[in-house]
């Protein structure tokens, strides 16, 4: 275990709060970057000392990093979070700021939360692992910049500065998950449609399994390496969504549209949202179609071998826990 404090970014978010709590439970002292009073309260409630500032506030970052021996970088602008340059500023430039500040402060280990979606390209994702190349899909500013940040993190590794990327798939399991709530809202409004009947298999990553991998990466893993981390087995999109909706007291509709029609609708809707400057994301996006119209099957064997990773919660147990945590 690293002796000094752990610095966490994105600590007020869904994943970051869980990371802080797990680190505190593991006996570690945690500091967390917080952009506002509300964020400060959230990270303090999770068990961290708030450091007021953001990824662009280098003075605050440097002060917060003093004496820290490791850093967990969870902060990111998520899908639907604005124009491409905003993604670049937060997901790429912000990550580079953290890398530079951490290296200058003598931080020994930098763990970055990447995205398995960076595999998305022209080929089907079937049997992929860490040897497969990452891509910069034009359909998503989020994924493009996560790919660029992933490369920057791995390239920054030196003999004195170990950098590691943890790449989860669909992160789920939290009752306040915005994606879960959005899907449930679409089901209630009668707008939910499967693509290709949801028949394709995917990998998923319960939030507790992701947190476990992050904590392991603070003490294990090779410099400059990346590790995929998933739940116990693949599952079809239909079965996974059905399970998620049952936790919300809902039945997944049977309605489905073919992938070619879904792609056309997604392109048209994204254009409409952009031209009319509508807030948020359309009900269907090109990224959603890309993820739903083919298998997304990746191995996490390297994490099991080099990090000692094993899922700490099975999907069935995660669904039961999510159901119990959802207000009736």
* pLDDT tens string 47-62: 999 999 999 999 999 9
Instruction: Considering the candidates 87, 142, 227, 309, report the single residue annotated as catalytic.
Output: 142
Q: Is residue 20 part of a domain?
A: yes
Q: Is residue 307 part of a domain?
A: yes
Q: Is residue 185 part of a domain?
A: no
Q: Is residue 152 part of a domain?
A: yes
Q: What's the pLDDT at 1?
A: 44
**pLDDT band at residue 124, thresholds of 50, 70 and 90?**
confident
Each residue's pLDDT tens digit, 238-253: 999 999 999 999 999 9
Q: Is residue 177 part of a domain?
A: no
CATH code for the domain of 124: 3.40.50.720
Q: Reply yes or no on whether 228 is catalytic.
A: no
Which contacts qualify for 57-66: CB closer than 8 Å, 24 or more apart? Answer: 58/97, 58/101, 60/33, 61/33, 61/97, 61/98, 61/101, 62/101, 62/104, 62/105, 64/7, 64/31, 64/33, 65/7, 65/101, 65/102, 65/105, 65/107, 66/105
Domain that includes residue 221, residue range: 6-169+206-230+298-311
Least confident of 69-73, 85-89, 275-279: 275-279
The per-residue pLDDT of the chain, averaged, comes to: 94
Retrieve residue 113's tokens: 């939360």
Is pLDDT larger for residue 284 or for residue 163?
163
Each residue's pLDDT tens digit, 224-235: 999 999 999 999
Each residue's pLDDT tens digit, 178-232: 889 989 998 999 989 999 999 999 999 999 999 999 999 999 999 999 999 999 9
Q: Is residue 134 part of a domain?
A: yes
Q: What is the mean pLDDT of residues 305-326?
A: 97
Q: Is residue 180 part of a domain?
A: no
Domain count, the chain: 1
Q: Is residue 280 part of a domain?
A: no
Q: What's the pLDDT at 326?
A: 87
**pLDDT band at residue 80, thresholds of 50, 70 and 90?**
low
């Amino acid at each position: 275990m690293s002796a000094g404090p752990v610095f966490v970014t994105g600590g007020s978010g869904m994943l970051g709060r869980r990371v802080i709590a797990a680190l505190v439970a593991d006996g570690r002292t945690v500091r967390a970057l917080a952009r506002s009073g509300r964020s400060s309260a959230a990270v303090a409630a999770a068990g961290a000392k708030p450091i007021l500032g953001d990824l662009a506030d280098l003075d605050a970052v440097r002060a917060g990093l003093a004496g820290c021996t490791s850093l967990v970088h969870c902060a990111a602008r998520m899908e639907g979070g604005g124009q491409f340059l905003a993604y670049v500023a937060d997901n790429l430039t912000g990550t580079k700021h953290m890398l530079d500040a951490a290296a200058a402060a003598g931080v020994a280990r930098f763990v970055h939360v990447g995205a398995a979606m960076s595999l998305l390209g022209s080929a089907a994702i079937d049997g992929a692992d860490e040897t497969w190349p990452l891509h910069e899909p034009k359909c998503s500013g989020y994924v493009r910049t996560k790919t660029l940040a992933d490369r920057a993190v791995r390239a920054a590794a030196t003999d004195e500065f170990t950098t590691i990327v943890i790449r989860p798939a669909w992160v789920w399991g939290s009752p306040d998950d915005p994606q879960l709530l959005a899907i449930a809202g679409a089901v209630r409004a009668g707008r939910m449609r499967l693509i290709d009947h949801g028949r394709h298999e995917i990998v998923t990553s319960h939030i507790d399994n992701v947190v476990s991998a992050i904590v392991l990466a603070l003490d294990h893993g090779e410099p400059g390496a990346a590790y995929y981390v998933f739940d116990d087995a693949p599952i079809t999109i239909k079965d996974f969504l059905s399970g998620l909706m049952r936790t919300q007291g809902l039945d997944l509709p049977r309605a489905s549209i073919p992938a070619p029609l879904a792609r056309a609708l997604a392109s048209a809707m994204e254009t409409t949202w952009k031209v009319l400057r509508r807030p948020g994301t359309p009900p269907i996006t090109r990224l959603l179609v890309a993820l739903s119209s083919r298998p997304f099957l990746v191995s996490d064997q390297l994490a099991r071998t080099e990090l000692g990773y094993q899922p700490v919660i099975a999907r069935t147990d995660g669904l039961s826990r999510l159901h119990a945590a959802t207000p009736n």
